[in-house]
Structure 1
Amino acid sequence: MNPEKIYLDNNATTRMDDRVLEAMIPFFTTYYENAGSSHLSGMTVQEYVEEAAWNIAELTGGQPEEYIFTSGATEAINLAISGLEHSGRKHIVTLSTEHKAVLDTCRNLEDRGYNLTVLKVETTGLIDHEILRAAITDETLLVCVMMVNNETGIIQDVQTISLMAHEKGALFLCDATQAVGKIPVDVSSMGIDLMPVSAHKFYGPKGSGALYVSRAAKIKLQPQILGGGQQKNRRSGTLNVPGIIGLGKACEIAALEMDTDAARIRDLRDTLEKELLTVKGSFINGVPEHRLHTTANICFPGINAEQMIMGLQHISVSNGSACSSVTSQPSHVLTAMGLSDEEALNSIRFSLGKFNTITEILQAAAKVRELIAQFSL
């Protein structure tokens, strides 16, 4: 009999909550109409879509009409960055530890004549605010800084960063893909102008996300997908109604249970770290007091992470972003934080979720220690 899997890769994706699936099913069968149709059945489906938008807004602090439904965070990021009208400004500032969706989209604009500044972070994973302030000029169109890093869980002070951007008249894009549904996010109080959301990072369906676009900032976006002119011509295409309903339900559940889940997951994460940091020479990547409760990124010097991942078999962990895990290159996030290539290749990300148990955590820690002992012989 195969051992039951232990899933510790929740930053890559999460298991869908059964209540989310239950909410979605009727929209595959009973309420299958196109939300853009003008007949009564289509209008009924549209009302459910609008309710989902309300749920997203309630969780993240915006207004329902400020959200564009997308296929996920990557599309939302592309729309936000590539679709932004520059109004004479053609300078973008971002960090070296951003997700590839941000970095690659920014570099694409650089190839098209934009000026791009990519700032290094400190060894903690945090950006030096004075270095960031100096980089933002009167020519800066956009500042892109993620709220929570997907590999290390490091949390940036986005409210302070947004103030720096706005002081120079720049817009602030905050990739909150790893934050929404896990920690409090309020686009208004945090001063966020553009923010991608992805349902599958917090127990919703894959292929469903949204882009928050501040109405107060009077942002003009050029659509990246053309066609039927849906969503006020900002993103064409028939709405993925089941996915949108799932996103909305995931937001509704998170609003009610996020704090309780966070406390329990943090205890599990701390237990895991306590067990694993007994390994000689091991250390946490990133400053411990500024990390998301789901994430433990640990370096085990001399232990090849890929070999470890294969050896763990039914225990799912990772050594970087799921979007770039097909390569054996060292993590760009960890090397940007000052780790050597070897240290980055010796690091493993354990990311926990609300379905994990203390039994799983202790079993996983024991297996990791066992393999390290074998590899060290």
Structure 2
Amino acid sequence: MSYNIIYFDNNSTTQTDPRVVEEMLPYFTEHYGNPSSVRNKYGFEASAAVNLATRRIRDTIGNQSAKIIYTSGATESINMALTGTITATGIRRIITSPSEHSAVLDTCRYLESLGVEIEYISIDSLGMLNYSELEERLADKRPSLVTLMGANNEIGVTHDLLRIRELCTFHKAVFHSDCTQLYGKTSDFNQFTLPDLVSLSAHKFYGPKGIGSLFINSKSIKIEPLLRGGGQQDGLRAGTLPVPLIVGIGKACEIAHTERDFDMAVYHVCRNELMEVMKKCPEVKLNGSPDHRIPNNLNFLIEGIDSDTLITELKDFALSSAAACKSSSGKTSHVLKSIGLTPEQIKSCIRIGIGRFNTTSEAVKLRKQLTAKIKELRKKKSDGK
């Protein structure tokens, strides 16, 4: 089914790139062997496809020694990184921030119930980390696991992974980063080698849903598996490997890396066009740092306008008012709350996620309709309608 709606919700999920689908299809119906059964032709072909995907991923980050663990998505990767590290190492303190994805925060709350101490680094009104506070907390030399995201899924703010890496190295802390939103939205892929552990989901960068990965960049890192069974993936994640999905994430990573300059150009041109909304409607404010953010994300606070009403009125576009997991549960955004927005202000925020397949003309159309609809709804409110 094809919808006559322009999709601008690419921080929620992305269209699977047709080139990724094309590469996956033969592994459903032709090369369908089990990669663990390498003594027959089908299994050997499947195993070779998995190895190729792994090489492609390693190539994008420039680290051929990185261990790539395939998971069902970033949520599982995050659970594996945090719970697996805590269990294997005996570390009893995690340092994180209140603006992390719920997959991190919920896992931390679970570990807290088991006696692990959770400490939160404060962020400012632009969503920026207090790095001095992180350094102060690490200075006591207690064994720690630091988990801080590469880019925020709601307001797009990026964190300085190199600075965090340096602090963690100096104070001998393990560093995990949820880079789900950062991968494919930066020209610098080498930064994905900075954390000890990196979590990703393919569907955020034009790959298939249901597959993610955990990069283990340091050989000294110990992780206890969440799943046990057949001993696949060096015993770290049991279960028959989903070859078509692994082929898909490998191809999606390759495209994200080789075409990064094209993607960045699309994001910047469309974002600059949509930023014009703030000139036409001065009451519209940008949530998050204007300087330290991924280029495909805009999160607007439109005072006095209900975001759900606005999104419903913009029938030609697919937008969101919060992270997809928050929208489906009806919960208030903890990210927007953490940067100081009131409950009423949070109800007046929309998120625009620009994608690889968006065009400048689509951004112009959204800018014009968004501007007009804001003015229309504001007039109705002032008229008491």
Q: Distance in 2 between matches of 1:273 and 1:341?
A: 24
CA contact 2:23–2:248 (8 Å) conserved in 1: yes
Q: Distance in 1 between matches of 2:45 and 2:3?
A: 46
What residue identity is the alignment partner of 2:29?
Answer: T
Q: Distance in 2 between matches of 1:63 and 1:299?
A: 43
Counterpart selection for 1:185 from 173, 189, 194: 189
Q: Distance in 2 between matches of 1:274 and 1:140?
A: 47
Of stretches 44-53 and 59-68 in structure 1, the one that deviates more from structure 2 is 59-68
Q: Distance in 2 between matches of 1:3 and 1:214?
A: 41
Is residue 242 from structure 1 mapped to residue 244 from structure 2 by the alignment? yes
Q: Distance in 2 between matches of 1:329 and 1:344?
A: 11
CA contact 1:93–1:140 (8 Å) conserved in 2: no
Matched residue, 2:117: 115
| 1:358 Cα deviation from its structure 2 partner | 1.6
CA contact 1:317–1:350 (8 Å) conserved in 2: yes
Q: Distance in 2 between matches of 1:369 and 1:187?
A: 37
Matched residue, 1:144: 147
Q: Distance in 1 between matches of 2:213 and 2:116?
A: 26
Query: Which residues in structure 2 correspond to 1:250-329 (within 5 Å)?
Result: 250-329=252-331
What CA RMSD, in Å, does the superposition of the two structures yield over aligned residues? 1.7
Distance 1:110 1:3, change over 3 A: closer
Counterpart selection for 1:165 from 145, 164, 168: 168
Counterpart selection for 1:208 from 203, 207, 211: 211
Matched residue, 2:28: 28
What residue identity is the alignment partner of 2:280?
Answer: T
| 1:88 Cα deviation from its structure 2 partner | 4.0
Superposed CA deviations along residues 227-286 of structure 1, whole A, max 9, x for unmatched, are 111101100011010000010111111121111210222111110111354213111111
Q: Distance in 2 between matches of 1:282 and 1:356?
A: 23
Distance 1:373 1:3, change over 3 A: farther
Superposed CA deviations along residues 309-358 of structure 1, whole A, max 9, x for unmatched, are 22223411111111221244431111111122222221111010110012
What residue identity is the alignment partner of 1:61?
Answer: G
Matched residue, 2:156: 153
Matched residue, 1:78: 79
Superposed CA deviations along residues 31-55 of structure 1, whole A, max 9, x for unmatched, are 0111111323202210110010011
Q: Distance in 2 between matches of 1:3 and 1:232?
A: 43
Superposed CA deviations along residues 117-150 of structure 1, whole A, max 9, x for unmatched, are 0122011111111111112242242001101111
Classify the secondary structure of the residue corresponding to 1:50: helix
What residue identity is the alignment partner of 2:261?
Answer: D
Q: Distance in 2 between matches of 1:38 and 1:55?
A: 21
Matched residue, 1:4: 4
Distance 1:86 1:228, change over 3 A: closer
Counterpart selection for 1:350 from 352, 365, 369: 352
Matched residue, 2:199: 196
What residue identity is the alignment partner of 1:296?
Answer: L
Counterpart selection for 2:232 from 230, 233, 236: 230
Matched residue, 1:58: 59
Q: Distance in 2 between matches of 1:317 and 1:33?
A: 40
TM-score normalised according to structure 2 size: 0.93
Q: Distance in 2 between matches of 1:76 and 1:148?
A: 16
CA contact 1:3–1:314 (8 Å) conserved in 2: no
Classify the secondary structure of the residue corresponding to 2:70: strand
CA contact 2:92–2:144 (8 Å) conserved in 1: yes
Q: Distance in 2 between matches of 1:86 and 1:235?
A: 14
Counterpart selection for 1:360 from 334, 359, 362: 362
Q: Distance in 2 between matches of 1:18 and 1:116?
A: 42
CA contact 1:182–1:258 (8 Å) conserved in 2: yes
CA contact 1:54–1:64 (8 Å) conserved in 2: no
CA contact 1:315–1:364 (8 Å) conserved in 2: yes
Of stretches 8-17 and 363-372 in structure 1, the one that deviates more from structure 2 is 363-372
Q: Distance in 1 between matches of 2:252 and 2:152?
A: 21
Structure 1 gap segments, 5+ residues each: none
TM-score normalised according to structure 1 size: 0.95
Matched residue, 2:383: none
CA contact 1:61–1:187 (8 Å) conserved in 2: no
Of stretches 109-118 and 32-41 in structure 1, the one that deviates more from structure 2 is 32-41
What residue identity is the alignment partner of 1:60?
Answer: I
Classify the secondary structure of the residue corresponding to 2:233: coil
Classify the secondary structure of the residue corresponding to 1:174: strand
What residue identity is the alignment partner of 1:12?
Answer: S
Q: Distance in 1 between matches of 2:190 and 2:280?
A: 38
Q: Distance in 2 between matches of 1:209 and 1:299?
A: 32
